[in-house]
Chains A and B, each alone.
Chain A
């Protein structure tokens, strides 16, 4: 049995002249906050990965991606509560159906908007509509109650000296990094992957090579929605879900993609981890209510000095 948490840096309890509390910086507290931020950033990266493909590579403003993440979480809940399947395995099993769903959704989007040159504005409205429709479908099929999963690693922590790592955050981080690495390998080493990278850079050149950009974009969009299945399984490991929870992640996910650089997975990962660490340190050491403002504050100077994001192409 570990000792109850009493941190060594518990110091001044009196408010300072700015109305805040003085805190002695303690190395172990800072380390815990940084590591917690890294784990949180890993999860944000899993949610943002699909947007990095759709928005960063294909120029498709898929605002509904977080709704598909929630759909993935509900699918995980069904498989876990009905068949006792581990949430991560459930998420991986759902990548197939989600891939097909993504391909079909892209076909619809392409037929209705992209092929008519109406993609930018109408596309936004289209995906905004898909976001709401997905929520309503979830409410109608699964109800409005909170859903959660059971797994042996939920609720326990790994203690490494003064470092405490909840498995609830650690497992999603590991899975997220693995998914990102696998996808990066696929994009850089396979013919289809390279075609996806090509379609994001020069569609005309790809056509001249005899490859249909529409087909490649459909595949890529299918992959982006498939990542939502895994991200959903990670989400429901971290916290219970209800149908409308996806809206909470729209801002963070798009910010991670833009901050990291359009089309750069590693940039998106670094950006997600920056957001996570900033939120974590501000919440622990200062005031949690400032965490999103300060995390998003990084976006402005970064884009001012590097218009293409951290690792993206210069715009």
Chain B
């Protein structure tokens, strides 16, 4: 019996240790640190993004501490791995706030932020959130702030650029197929696209979802092709994105415009894997080399991030998450300095009232905690050859089609063959 218990204890300890590792960044300062707590996926399906975000937060913390900290106090990150599992999030934030007594909290992702909201709201904490969609539509919490540039109408923001670009084509498209995964983000993206289709008078000829663990997307592409749509709007997650694009290419399916809200076309390794199959595909970005001249400070962050990304096994280019994770921390830093303390009420009021100067440009938050103006980039992949991720460092690999102030080219249509 004792042996059994001992064996189980060792096993459980090994599992538990792997599952939820609390880490504090080491410090050697006289003043008490300002502690920033977060639950962040380091394992599981969302680990790829979570690890890139954490790496960026660590770069930010190191820079801030090297400059003397905030208000003379060092910053210290306290984080736990939630294993990409929303069920782990409530107890992590409870521990962060009640046991670790962190001063500030940061959240990450739609599904992993929702379970944290009641805990933060109960304690009146400011929620600085990254990479989530339309969360505050339900909670309406006045201390919630989100740094992804969706603007006040998040669902529409993902697809608005795609449809505005599409309706500029000659001849104008008449029909659209909508397809997305049976999951939160995709459903929201496709719901927004449905509204856009209605707004632009497009006839929806295919409107279906697929289960997330789909392996072969060939039958889905055949089903879409059977309706002969002019446009195909896709709301997909990374592996679905590669599956849908590969299947479309293998079956030589070439509508006038293909793409939309495809998560994964921002990831360097997936882009490198797809390579020339991405030619003419339209997707969204938050930042890409074609926009580099608008945001010169991003390059400095990426110079630090990219060498570390290789050794950490995360997104090699870091165009997607790192700039916006960094800007979230910049907003917190500027707010604490502006308020001169950590009072949550004053911080929330300050963040609502202030325009923040960040590496991704000026940010002003609206009453709902979202950007007052959306700034999603709609891009089209061009001139890609074979495979390999280095070609995506070239600004001409992703042409910005929308919004107009960042435009670097016009849409190329219909979708051509993969290899040119």
Q: Are A289 and B215 in contact (CB under 8 A)?
A: no
Q: Are A238 and B269 in contact (CB under 8 A)?
A: no
Q: Are A292 and B84 in contact (CB under 8 A)?
A: no
List chain B residues, Cβ under 8 A from A166: 218, 246-247, 250-251
**What string of 1s and 0s marks CB contacts (under 8 Å) between B222-243 and chain A?**
1101111000000000110011
User: Which residue on B lies nearest to A113, using beta carbons?
Assistant: B7
Interface membership of B43, Cβ < 8 A: yes
Stretch binding the partner chain, chosen from A2-10, A84-92, A184-192 = A2-10
List chain B residues, Cβ under 8 A from A249: 213
**What string of 1s and 0s marks CB contacts (under 8 Å) between A281-299 and chain B?**
1011101110110000000
Residue of A126, A136, A164, A249 ringed by the most chain B CB atoms within 10 A = A136
List chain B residues, Cβ under 8 A from A279: 214, 216, 219
Interface membership of A150, Cβ < 8 A: yes
Q: Are B226 and A9 in contact (CB under 8 A)?
A: yes
Instruction: Give CA–CA (A84, B417) in the complex, Å.
Output: 27
Interface membership of A207, Cβ < 8 A: no
Contacting B at CB under 8 A, from A21-44, are: 21, 23, 26, 29, 32-33, 36-37, 39-40, 43
Instruction: Give CA–CA (A143, B246) in the complex, Å.
Output: 24
Interface membership of A133, Cβ < 8 A: yes
Instruction: Give CA–CA (A32, B210) in the complex, Å.
Output: 19
Q: A132-B15, A133-B14, A157-B250 are in contact. Are A148 and B269 (CB under 8 A)?
A: yes
Residue of B45, B243, B251, B264 ringed by the most chain A CB atoms within 10 A = B251
List chain B residues, Cβ under 8 A from A29: 222, 226
Stretch binding the partner chain, chosen from B132-140, B152-160, B201-209, B367-375 = B201-209
Interface membership of B253, Cβ < 8 A: yes
Q: Choose one: B7, B47, B238, B387; the contact of A243 (CB below 8 Å).
A: B47
User: Which residue on B lies nearest to A2, using beta carbons?
Assistant: B252
Q: Are B215 and A40 in contact (CB under 8 A)?
A: yes
Q: Choose one: B14, B42, B223; the contact of A139 (CB below 8 Å).
A: B42
Q: A36-B216, A133-B18, A244-B47 are in contact. Are A164 and B250 (CB under 8 A)?
A: yes
Q: Are B43 and A139 in contact (CB under 8 A)?
A: yes
User: Which residue on A lies nearest to B386, using beta carbons?
Assistant: A150
Stretch binding the partner chain, chosen from B309-317, B338-346, B355-363, B396-404 = B309-317
Interface membership of A193, Cβ < 8 A: no
**What string of 1s and 0s marks CB contacts (under 8 Å) between B314-342 and chain A?**
11100000000000000000000000000
What is the interface size of chain B, counting residues whose CB is below 8 A from a CB of the partner? Answer: 66
* Whole-angstrom distance between the Cβ of B178 and the nearest chain A Cβ: 12
Interface membership of B267, Cβ < 8 A: yes
Secondary structure call for the B interface: mixed
Instruction: Give CA–CA (A136, B264) in the complex, Å.
Output: 22
Q: Choose one: A4, A9, A40, A136; the contact of B253 (CB below 8 Å).
A: A4
Q: A40-B216, A169-B218 are in contact. Are A240 and B273 (CB under 8 A)?
A: yes
Q: Are A142 and B313 in contact (CB under 8 A)?
A: yes
* Whole-angstrom distance between the Cβ of B129 and the nearest chain A Cβ: 21
Interface membership of A146, Cβ < 8 A: yes
Residue of A43, A126, A132, A239 ringed by the most chain B CB atoms within 10 A = A239
List chain B residues, Cβ under 8 A from A283: 210, 214, 219-220, 223
* Whole-angstrom distance between the Cβ of B414 and the nearest chain A Cβ: 8
Interface membership of B51, Cβ < 8 A: yes
Interface membership of B291, Cβ < 8 A: no
Interface membership of B171, Cβ < 8 A: no
Q: Are A7 and B226 in contact (CB under 8 A)?
A: yes
Q: Are B387 and A168 in contact (CB under 8 A)?
A: no
Instruction: Give CA–CA (A32, B51) in the complex, Å.
Output: 41
Q: Are B228 and A6 in contact (CB under 8 A)?
A: yes
**What string of 1s and 0s marks CB contacts (under 8 Å) between A128-147 and chain B?**
01001101100100111111
Interface membership of A280, Cβ < 8 A: yes
Interface membership of B382, Cβ < 8 A: no
Interface membership of B48, Cβ < 8 A: yes
Contacting A at CB under 8 A, from B32-47, are: 42-45, 47
List chain A residues, Cβ under 8 A from B94: none
Contacting A at CB under 8 A, from B9-32, are: 11, 14-15, 18-19
Q: A36-B219, A156-B250, A284-B222 are in contact. Are A144 and B314 (CB under 8 A)?
A: yes
Beyond contacts A5-B221, A11-B226, A146-B273: 11 other A-B pairs, Cβ-Cβ < 8 A, are A1-B417, A4-B253, A7-B226, A136-B18, A155-B249, A166-B246, A166-B247, A240-B238, A249-B213, A283-B210, A289-B209
Can you list 8 A-B contacts (CB < 8 A)? A36-B219, A40-B215, A132-B15, A132-B19, A144-B314, A249-B213, A284-B222, A288-B210
